[in-house]
Amino acid sequence: MDGYGSRLMAVPVLLHHPASLEHDTGLHPEAAARIVAIHRELDVRGGIGWERREADPAPRAALLAVHPERHLLGIQELAAAGGGQLDMDTVVSEGSWEAALRAAGGAVGVVDLLLGGGAPAAATAQRPPGHHCEAARPMGFCLMNNVAIAAQHARDAHGLDRVMILDWDVHHGNGTSDIFDASPEVLFVSLHQWPLYPGTGAAQDIGSGAGYGHTVNLPMPAGSGDDHWVSTVEHVVRPLGRVYRPQLILISAGYDAHRDDPLADCRVSDHGFAAMAASVRALGAEVGAPVGVVLEGGYDVNALGRAFADTLVALGSEQAPEPPGLECHPVAAQALRRVAETWPALHGV
């Protein structure tokens, strides 16, 4: 049984905010058109049974639990001064502070909805994205690390001690990885094309200190598609989750591994994203953890709209879709053996 059994009256909720459209990056792949395309696709499909609701701004305390004050002030002051360039590809405009506050607030809202019983599934579709942003360094289109803020909020405000983040954006989520590197209370699992920007995410990096083993990098070769990605989620991530038994699963959901994406070289289909989501939903049901979605990248706006909507359908439909159940791809089998070196309960799965 997943969340529906106990929350019959609640419907899945997608958080959004018009401030997302005011983060003006100019001629840039990470543009407002991405959010417009998601809403257009949902409208075309009649809303797919998800209630759309405006996100609140993130509480200051939730931001400060991840980012130092000077990081926040740096963005806020630059936005107030009319904006500027933080690095080669990370832009702040006048509207970026409010957009970032709402994007982080949406991620926090997803956690509160799921853990407070307000929704059987929840997602946030806002920008700027977050997973490249380190505690004290915005980078890679990201100003605040939305999913990290959400995971930390789940620990601080809801008392959880096992949160799993699955990052399926095609780029390694270096910021999230770094923030929780030494924490066993957040299991960070990333599928990403390798090698690719930002250059982190080697299979050998598995966390440090008390968090040793709680960073799991699953690099994918250029050209890999559904067989690699879906099989790795089903045959590595899902068994790992059964062992870790998270109390909450957050998907750091980028759509730039899509075959139509202009920024990377992977070949995941719309159906592939739906299949990965079905696998995560099945894991959530197995361990009793609700599943939330935080939007990251995805730069072919049509593919983004379709695949994001397919993800929501897979997570939010009353009838859980069948998990993929396909054969274990050799890349996944090899990854499983490697991960089992630090998670011995995975031997023989």
Residue 3 or residue 297: which is nearer to Zn ion going by CB? 297
Q: How far is residue 282 from each of residues 85, 190, 218, 243, 244, measured CA to CA in Å?
A: 42, 18, 20, 14, 15
CA distance 278 to 337: 23
- The single residue of 16, 71, 131, 132 carrying the catalytic annotation is 132
Interface map 254-283 toward Zn ion (x if CB under 5 A): x-x---------------------------
Closest CA to 146 of 37, 51, 15, 237: 15
28 is catalytic: no
**How many Cα atoms within 13 Å fall on the side-chain side of residue 66?**
35
Minimum distance of Zn ion from residue 89's CB (angstroms) = 11
Please report whether residue 297 would count as binding Zn ion according to CB under 5 A.
yes
Cis preceding linkage at 321, omega within 30: no
Residue 78 or residue 170: which is nearer to Zn ion going by CB? 170
Q: Which region, judged by CB under 5 A, interacts with Zn ion, from 198-206, 228-236, 276-284, 296-304?
A: 296-304
Tokens of 141: 């289109």
CA distance 123 to 15: 6
Q: Which region, judged by CB under 5 A, interacts with Zn ion, from 3-11, 252-260, 321-329, 336-344?
A: 252-260
Residue nearest to Zn ion (CB): 297
Residue 183 or residue 252: which is nearer to Zn ion going by CB? 252
Residue 129 or residue 211: which is nearer to Zn ion going by CB? 129
Spatial contact of 37 and 75, defined as CB atoms under 8 Å apart? no
**Of the candidates 41, 169, 270, 310, which one interacts with Zn ion according to CB under 5 A?**
169
Q: Which region, judged by CB under 5 A, interacts with Zn ion, from 147-155, 228-236, 290-298, 311-319?
A: 290-298
Cis preceding linkage at 262, omega within 30: no
CA distance 318 to 306: 20
Please report whether residue 181 would count as binding Zn ion according to CB under 5 A.
no
The DSSP call for residue 131 is T
Please report whether residue 171 would count as binding Zn ion according to CB under 5 A.
yes
> Which residues of this protein are in contact with Zn ion, per CB under 5 A?
169, 171, 254, 256, 297
Residues taking part in catalysis: 132
